[in-house]
Amino acid sequence: MLASAVRGVVVAAVAHTLPPRSLPALRRSLLDWFRAHRRALPWREAPALYKTVVSEFMLQQTQVKTVLPYFTRWLERFPDFAALAAAPEDAVLKHWEGLGYYSRARNLHRLARAVAARPAPPRTAAEWQELPGVGPYTAAAIASIACGDRVACVDGNVARVLARLAGDTTPFDSGSAMVKHFRPLAAEVLAPAHPGEWNEAMMELGALVCAPRSPTCLVCPLLKHCATADPAAAAAIPRLERPRTERRAVVRLWCVHGGKLLLHRAAAASKRLADLHELPAAADLGLSDADARRGELLLRRSRSITRYRIEESIHRWRDQPVAADAALSGKQNSAGGAALHWVSLTELERIALSGPHRRWVRELLAHA
């Protein structure tokens, strides 16, 4: 819980610029702005519970612009909970391919089955949080937006808005600590008559106006209510210590034999890539990186995953007969039961590959 002293700082910051009944004015300002300026997003058109659930799962750690085409395709293939619940997992993963964090797809699939088996969907945030993959933020978003539950959402965008509104310079060592710190204040400012719309408005303000590095304070609907109200000062709030970027190198192997490509399928217990295919790393085949690098370098790419900056190099594997023996035997590696598989080049578009590997495989085949 947020300490009463910190809450006092928030109230005092608002009281400096507003009359005693400041919250109603603040709420009206933000809701009026949102109704005039909100983005036209597909899950806001003919809003429905299922659309809200799917969008919230897709938007976890993913930008709106990335989600848009996936959301449209998803709704075409899985239009409701029943259709998603009845779908095989391979189809679900295939339609999620490229969005990353595949545990979200599996949890959404499991959630659909749980909802489809109930006489009625959950209505409160507490009930939603009992379902697979639904944490406090996602539960609050679904319950408030689709069910009218009077519960506040707090993600990084909302926490940033609240920190600046309050002039709160508390340092945080993680995003989760920051979110937890601002939950009581979020509940305090929530518009009780319009909880879902208020939560969307707060998130929209954080995404479009109260941006992390270059906030546009002069056009902010909460400018007169804000204890910071200055772009330079606001850019330094909240005080969140970013973890250091760690660099990693991964050496992968390219082996095409008899019209088939050697791929590595992650174990079902894998947290991030369960059952997805990727090009095998040197270690998957019992090789050192130095041994793998002796093959011709075909491709080098860099990407970021959370705090990691990963450089991946793909080398042609010179010892293909050995590769064939290892893969066709279905030999299990030591990392939890993941195996090597030959996949026909004609079947590659039907299986689920992680997004970057899909791009790399296409690129390499195009130049083969």
Catalytic residue chosen out of the listed positions 45, 56, 127, 363: 56
Q: How many CA atoms lie within 13 A of 349 on its CB side?
A: 3
Closest CA relative to residue 25, chosen from 244, 265, 191, 231: 191
The reply to whether omega before 238 is within 30° of 0 (cis) is: yes
Q: 3-class SS at 349?
A: coil
Beta strands, E only, the chain: 171-172, 239-240, 246-254, 256-257, 260-265, 277-278, 297-305, 308-316, 339-344
Torsion-angle region of 167 (φ positive above 0: left; ψ -120 to 50: alpha; else: beta) = left
Q: Cα–Cα distance between 278 and 262 in angstroms, integer? A: 9
For the chain, the first-to-last Cα distance in angstroms comes to: 59
Q: What one-character-per-residue DSSP string does 282-305 give?
A: GGGGT--HHHHTTSPEEEEEEEEE
Q: Cα–Cα distance between 316 and 318 in angstroms, integer? A: 6
Distance of CA 223 to the CA centre of its chain: 30
> Is residue 235 within 8 Å of 183, Cβ to Cβ?
no
Closest CA relative to residue 295, chosen from 249, 251, 250: 251
Told to judge if 45 belongs to the known catalytic residues of this protein, a careful annotator would answer no
Q: Cα–Cα distance between 196 and 140 in angstroms, integer? A: 9
- Residues taking part in catalysis: 56
